[in-house]
Structure 1
Amino acid sequence: MLRRISNADILVAWDTAGCNAYETLVRTNNYVTQNVVDSTALLTGSAPYGYQNRANTYAVEGQSFTELNENVYVQFSLSAESGYQLTVTGLDLYVARSSTGARSFALRSNQDDFSSNLVEWTVDDDSNTLPWLLGHELNLEDTTVTFRVYMWDATGVQKGYIYDPGASNSITVSGTIAAVPEPATVSMLGLASGLILFWRRNFGV
């Protein structure tokens, strides 16, 4: 799998411990940093929801399509408080599958309206079922960042899952959050820089 992302600070994290696959429609975060809106940091899924439970996982039904289905995904989102902006630099995501589960996984974001994959992973051997870490470096700047995980190409009833690895979070989004300067502040900074440049050119200081 891809390497673990460890640069920058944790913005938000989710843990699927105690969650049984399809029975929980909305999963709240277990950690959110200052100036990230807690109520927006949710783990959700698109309909339809399935019926097959698996302890400490989160998933949606409908993974038997042979190609990525844009209407079937697990979604997680975070928003900055008013006056702040997010810079997302990394993502750690644990996934698992049954022996007849999804063989393809992809990650997309709202930065391009979920139109292209940020990262994709394919299983070559159906006996490959243990949890893996999908780690991906990013450079996304916005007041709200939303991700969707797509799972497809399953051969049976059981599926792929967002997985609780035990010692780590199921999903960790890393990066920074910073205050956005007020327009007046930006104007004053520009004026000050201009005056300094003028003074140096004319007085050689």
Structure 2
Amino acid sequence: MKAKTACIGILFTSLSWTGGNATVISTNPITGTNPSVDNPYVTGLSGNSNITASGLGRGSGITASTANDRYSAKNWSSTFDSSDYFTFTLDAKDGYEINFDSVVYTGAASGTGPTTFALRSSIDEFTANIGSPTATGTTITLTASQFQHLTTPVEFRLYGYGATGGTGTFSVNDYTFNGAVEAVPEPGTLALVGVGSLLMLASRHRTRKSSEILA
């Protein structure tokens, strides 16, 4: 029984994402002449073959700004506007799931461009802020449970506001989503994990009861 419980425990552990095997799942260095004219921009996009990625796009509240080797936009608002954002969407192909680890980006803002930023996701209808994005870029951790085992599309939006003029710009120069894309366990495997969990709990309960009797 101990051997069976141990084996099932190992299987359960292998199905639980811990972030220890994070790799690049979608990335784009964004190069070339005026890439901002495309919405979304997909040239140079690469990543895991078991997902589809939208590339980098923009919301309806901002417009393309001429710039090379970066995805730039202007017309950012002085206060938060839900249509002023850059957007990325990732979706696992059938039979796979995404376990996010982080998103890393670099960017730049002009002197009259946005000064405050927010990253949000479609998981909660773009309600809660994620991490602390900045004009020049940062690494934002995505290891929370809501970003694990995703089999449906998830959209991330990078909002900007606090601009002092319509001509002020903000750009994303490059970005990378890190994590793991894994095959979805078969129903039979999930059932085995459930039985294994019950067996482990029962074993721990018996061990505790034995310890109490011996005490």
TM-score bucket of the superposed structures, by smaller chain: 0.7 to 0.9
Task: Note the C-alpha offset of 1:191.
Answer: 5.4
Correspondences of 1:101-120 after superposition (within 5 Å)? 101-120=113-132
The correspondence for 2:163, drawn from 145, 154, 157, is 154
The correspondence for 1:10, drawn from 5, 16, 24, is 24
**Cα 1:98/1:107, change in 2 over 3 Å:** same
1:20 aligns to 2:34 (yes or no): yes
**Cα 1:115/1:191, change in 2 over 3 Å:** closer
Task: Note the C-alpha offset of 1:110.
Answer: 1.6
Structure 2: distance between partners of 1:53 and 1:181: 46
Task: Note the C-alpha offset of 1:193.
Answer: 7.5
Structure 1: distance between partners of 2:104 and 2:142: 11
Task: Note the C-alpha offset of 1:60.
Answer: 3.5
Structure 2: distance between partners of 1:42 and 1:180: 24
| Letter paired with 2:114 | A
**Cα 1:16/1:194, change in 2 over 3 Å:** closer
| Letter paired with 2:51 | V
The correspondence for 2:139, drawn from 135, 141, 145, is 135
1:46 aligns to 2:59 (yes or no): yes
State the identity as a percent: 27
1:145 aligns to 2:154 (yes or no): yes
What secondary structure sits across from 1:99 in the alignment?
A: coil
**Cα 1:107/1:192, change in 2 over 3 Å:** closer
Q: How many residues align?
A: 178
Task: Note the C-alpha offset of 1:118.
Answer: 0.6
Structure with the greater alpha carbon radius of gyration: 2
Over aligned residues, Cα RMSD in angstroms?
A: 2.9
Structure 2: distance between partners of 1:197 and 1:96: 52
Structure 1 unaligned runs (5+)? 1-5, 123-130, 164-169
The correspondence for 1:182, drawn from 169, 182, 186, is 186
Asked if 1 retains the 8 angstrom alpha-carbon contact of 2:119 and 2:133, the reply is no
| Letter paired with 2:47 | V
TM-score normalised by L of structure 1: 0.74
Asked if 1 retains the 8 angstrom alpha-carbon contact of 2:61 and 2:83, the reply is no
What secondary structure sits across from 2:56 in the alignment?
A: strand
Task: Note the C-alpha offset of 1:134.
Answer: 1.3
What secondary structure sits across from 1:119 in the alignment?
A: coil
Task: Note the C-alpha offset of 1:73.
Answer: 0.8
**Cα 1:192/1:104, change in 2 over 3 Å:** closer
* Structure with greater strand share of residues: 1
Structure 2: distance between partners of 1:62 and 1:46: 11
**Cα 1:36/1:19, change in 2 over 3 Å:** farther
Task: Note the C-alpha offset of 1:112.
Answer: 1.3
